[in-house]
Chain A
Amino acid sequence: MDKLKPFLEKHFGHTTFKEGQRQIIEAVINGEDVFAMLATGSGKSLCYQFPALWKKGTAIIVSPLLSLMENQVQELKQSGIRQAAAYNSFLSPPEKEHILRHLADYKIVYISPESLQHPEVASRLEKLNVSLLAVDEAHCISQWGHEFRTDYLRIKEIRRLAGNPPCIALTATASADAKKDIIEKLELTNPLVHCDSVDRPNIYIDVRKKKNEEEKRETLREECSRLPLPGMIYVNSRLKAEELAAFIREENGLKTSAYHGGMSNEDRRLVQQQFLNDEIDVICCTNAFGMGINKPNIRFVIHYHYSKDMESFMQEIGRAGRDGRQSLSLVLYDAADGMLPRRMLEHEFPSEEEIRMVSHDPDRPEWTTSRFLLERYGLEEVHARFLQFYIHKWYQSSRTQPLEDFISSVIQRRMEWKLQKLKQKEYWLHQKDRCRRTALLEVFDEHNKNIVTPCCDVCGEYTMHVYQQRKERESELSWEERLKWILHQ
């Protein structure tokens, strides 16, 4: 008799599993490791929530997004699953302590990779019966892991500490080599690998080379005057995001806003909400925007600057057309666009001088903390974390190489790898004789492309039909009218 289905209905209110879910869930319940690449909106979270409730013990979910964590816990609680908590740096010390002391009473605990590294957390996990360890947004391991989120690389240590519970890695997009990287870094053993196709047949892929910035702008103005709305424009600097938001507002009379890491939390939330509520037509953003946003009706994603690799590109264009309707991805680039990503690449790592300074400092303790590095040498936070991670790694190694060389060679390798990813992206942009979709899917190890029309600028030109009448601008509300509306008077 099938026991899973009644359980599904009782706890989650669904009567059937979506494609792939059942297989993954059964594997986790049987104690196997799983690597799952699932399209957004295909019920990723059920893959660990179900086994978490089913199995004895506490499930630990590692998730990089604080807001997403909170949302999921709220949703679980709303549907009657009360033994869920989110543990992160936003909590006050008593709140943290409360969760830690009652860990065993929870079925699901969400935790950020940073918090997972705290000694008090680790020591509690050691005594806990961990039913499974899920790593959400697992692509962060290979995309950011080495520089931004060194904590991600330490997950496997925590796993060992917790008595090697089954581990499930989840992501929406991972290229073939990222997949390998994730499996390796998490030390998954003979994992069940489940991959949905990353193809998005309702997105037309267009790439246009322009002579210079002016031409790009002109095209942007034209496209924004005729394309269906709403849409997104990706750029690679805060300043440019602000600039283009103002440009489109003035030139096209559209409601726009910038979104980037330099804005206050409060303003970022407002923009996000305005966009979700269709109060903004076009959002001009850096890659700080997007993760965890599920807006079904985005009609176009324009890359005014191209992304640093194919995976990010796939993720970013994948935000368009989630409702299944025809949508567009357009990349505009000129010859000078390659410079900034290269410069940013260099800046992702500590400089040679900083490495030398840190390596040769006799007063640096063996178990140095990133805070120490930050304060003593005035390093940037990500650089300090990066160095701390590799200094520890060096001490754990055989130390045949001097520390300075050890770190430099790590950086050398990472830089080359990243540069190669960037070049792969650029190669894809420049080539004019192969179907863009085919070439894009190959990066993800998919070789049997379905025939899609319209497909891409190489396969055939296509002008997106504007089926939606542009709304007249609503007149602005006075403060009193706004007050009346908001409070339903």
Chain B
Amino acid sequence: MQALSFRRQMFLLLAERMNQERSIQALYHILTGKKSSQTIQDIKWYNVTYYFRMFPYWKETDFEKDTNELQYLRYIASDNNRVMITEQGRSQNDNFRMFYRWPPVFNGWLYGKNAAVFWKRTALLVQCLSQTLAGNRRFLPVFEDISVQHWLKKNWPKTIEEKQQTAFILFNDLRNLLDELDERDAFLFMNRLTGYHLTGLTWTQLSNRLQMSEDECYFRFLGSVHFLLEHADRSAVLHQAASDLVFRDVLTETTKKTLRYMNEGWGMERIARVRNLKMSTIEDHVVEIASEQNNFPIGDYVEKEDQNLILHHASALQTKRLKVLKEAAQPKQLDYFSIRLTLAFYGREDHGQA
């Protein structure tokens, strides 16, 4: 058996999780972090939020090449445009899992975009502290995003004592936190940072240094950032960089709009008409909302009896395929929307079973 590239391996792991029920495209959207209602439901149903946005830079053409190659090598097969994992694929995964130490945190769904902002803030703060404390005022900032620079201006320690104090706190906090990670994860994080006379390394350079693919470097680095974000409360300085970020923007923009109408008591048809959108689009939005909100009034949309019926078959047949569930529920005539809504609502673990 030959070693798979990191990307392909991750794809294969995800393919196994998806239970042979989704298309190759759906997996692509998860790995690159497409924020559509369908993808969001997928990652929740199959509980694969930690694959979301793993490789946001994966080009579609490369992806096709990668998956074709996996088919050719018989790790996966495709049936009716659904990805099936083969026996060989499964044993490849088993092998990989046996030896691979997953980073303690990686959650592209929860942290994806926020992690990028958090990283930029932290990196810029560290660079500016490092340079100013060395007495150097002229340097090229690692990030030029105006919003990040504004954040820094607002939080910048004014006096030299405050700067030294901040550097001291940050040093201790980072040392303690990074110490809990694998050596190379801490190394990756530290070597992306830039300071006085020490510039961060590029992915190619890190890949050479660690003898690890660029994809894996990127993945594990992000894992470190997610880890710091998750534990930001343990550091006054990191907390500052994270405080206004976490859990923002869980719903897509267009869904938020629909939600506002719903909160005003509008029905779905009326929203569709006013927003000039197809009914099916509004349904997508409602499903997305149901999957996010604990207090979603699911009873207004699906009868309690039908909910139970759907959940019963989903668990008995171990499937989330709509068509299968619809057939299983017969002679009761259920529509797809009810099934999707129920699955989305109960897909969240914290709802408990009905």
Interface residues in chain A, defined as those with a beta carbon under 8 Å from any beta carbon in chain B? 66-67, 70-71, 78, 90-92, 95, 242, 245, 249, 257-258, 263-264, 266-267, 269-274, 276-277, 279, 476-480, 482-489
Contacts and interface: CB of A to CB of B under 8 A. Distances in A.
B186 A277 contact: no
- In this complex, the member of B164, B178, B205 whose beta carbon has the largest number of chain A beta carbons within 10 angstroms is B205
Secondary structure of the B contact surface, majority rule? helix
B134 interface: yes
B202 interface: yes
Contact of B183 (A267, A270, A479): A479
A482 B191 contact: yes
A92 B146 contact: yes
21 contacts: A67-B140, A71-B140, A90-B144, A92-B146, A245-B204, A257-B205, A267-B202, A270-B199, A270-B201, A272-B140, A477-B198, A479-B178, A479-B183, A483-B175, A486-B126, A486-B196, A487-B168, A488-B130, A488-B167, A488-B196, A489-B171
Contacts of B156: none
A488 B160 CA distance: 13
Nearest to A271: B202
Given A91-B146, A267-B202, A489-B168, A479 B189 contact: yes
Contacts of B137: 78
Given A269-B142, A273-B194, A482-B191, A92 B147 contact: yes
Contacts of B308: none
Contacts of B129: 487
A274 B189 CA distance: 17
Interface string B234-262: 00000000000000000000000000000
B170 interface: yes
A478 B144 CA distance: 28
B293 interface: no
Contacts of B33: none
B10 interface: no
Nearest to B209: A476
A269 B140 CA distance: 8
A245 B183 CA distance: 27
Interface string B175-201: 100100001001101110111111111
Contacts of A479: 178, 183, 186-187, 189-191
B6 interface: no
A276 B140 CA distance: 10
Contacts of B183: 479
B208 interface: yes
Interface of B: 57, 126, 129-130, 133-134, 137, 140, 142-147, 164, 167-168, 170-171, 174-175, 178, 183, 186-187, 189-191, 193-205, 208-209
- In this complex, the member of B137, B178, B187 whose beta carbon has the largest number of chain A beta carbons within 10 angstroms is B187
Contacts of A271: 202
A488 B134 contact: yes
B202 A95 contact: no
B191 A277 contact: no
Contacts of B168: 487, 489
Given A257-B202, A479-B187, A67 B142 contact: no
Contacts, number: 98
A266 B199 CA distance: 12
Nearest to B164: A488
Nearest to B140: A273
Contacts of A488: 130, 133-134, 164, 167, 196
Contacts of B144: 66-67, 70, 90
Secondary structure of the A contact surface, majority rule? helix
A45 to B, nearest CB: 15
Nearest to A481: B190
Nearest to B167: A487
Given A70-B144, A487-B167, 12 more contacts: A66-B144, A92-B146, A277-B197, A479-B186, A480-B186, A483-B190, A485-B195, A486-B130, A487-B129, A487-B130, A488-B130, A488-B196
Contacts of A266: 142-143
A257 B204 contact: yes
A78 B168 CA distance: 28
A20 B64 CA distance: 59
- In this complex, the member of B145, B196, B200, B202 whose beta carbon has the largest number of chain A beta carbons within 10 angstroms is B202
A90 B175 CA distance: 35
A245 B194 CA distance: 22
- In this complex, the member of A476, A482, A483, A486 whose beta carbon has the largest number of chain B beta carbons within 10 angstroms is A486
Nearest to A476: B209
Nearest to B201: A270
A487 B190 CA distance: 11
4 A-B pairs closest in CB distance: A486-B195, A479-B190, A267-B202, A487-B171
Contact of B170 (A263, A273, A279, A487): A487
Nearest to B168: A489
Given A67-B144, A257-B205, A266-B142, A483 B171 contact: yes
A269 B208 CA distance: 19
- In this complex, the member of A67, A71, A279, A483 whose beta carbon has the largest number of chain B beta carbons within 10 angstroms is A483
A70 B57 CA distance: 28
- In this complex, the member of A249, A263, A482, A488 whose beta carbon has the largest number of chain B beta carbons within 10 angstroms is A488
Contacts of B202: 257, 263, 267, 270-271
Contact of B171 (A269, A279, A484): A484
A486 B199 CA distance: 10
A485 B146 CA distance: 28
A266 B201 CA distance: 10
Contacts of B146: 90-92, 95
A21 B202 CA distance: 41
A486 B197 CA distance: 8
Contacts of A263: 202
- In this complex, the member of B144, B168, B178, B191 whose beta carbon has the largest number of chain A beta carbons within 10 angstroms is B144
A257 B203 CA distance: 11
- In this complex, the member of A71, A276, A476, A489 whose beta carbon has the largest number of chain B beta carbons within 10 angstroms is A489
Nearest to A268: B202
A265 B110 CA distance: 25
A477 B190 CA distance: 10
A281 to B, nearest CB: 13
Nearest to B174: A483
A277 B167 contact: no
Contacts of A477: 198
Nearest to A92: B146
A274 B202 CA distance: 10
B131 to A, nearest CB: 10
A290 to B, nearest CB: 15
Contacts of A276: 140
Contact of B199 (A78, A264, A273, A480): A273
A323 to B, nearest CB: 18
Nearest to A478: B187
A90 B201 CA distance: 25
Nearest to A91: B146
A197 B96 CA distance: 64
B198 A486 contact: yes
A258 B175 CA distance: 32
A279 B198 CA distance: 8
Contact of A267 (B134, B186, B203): B203
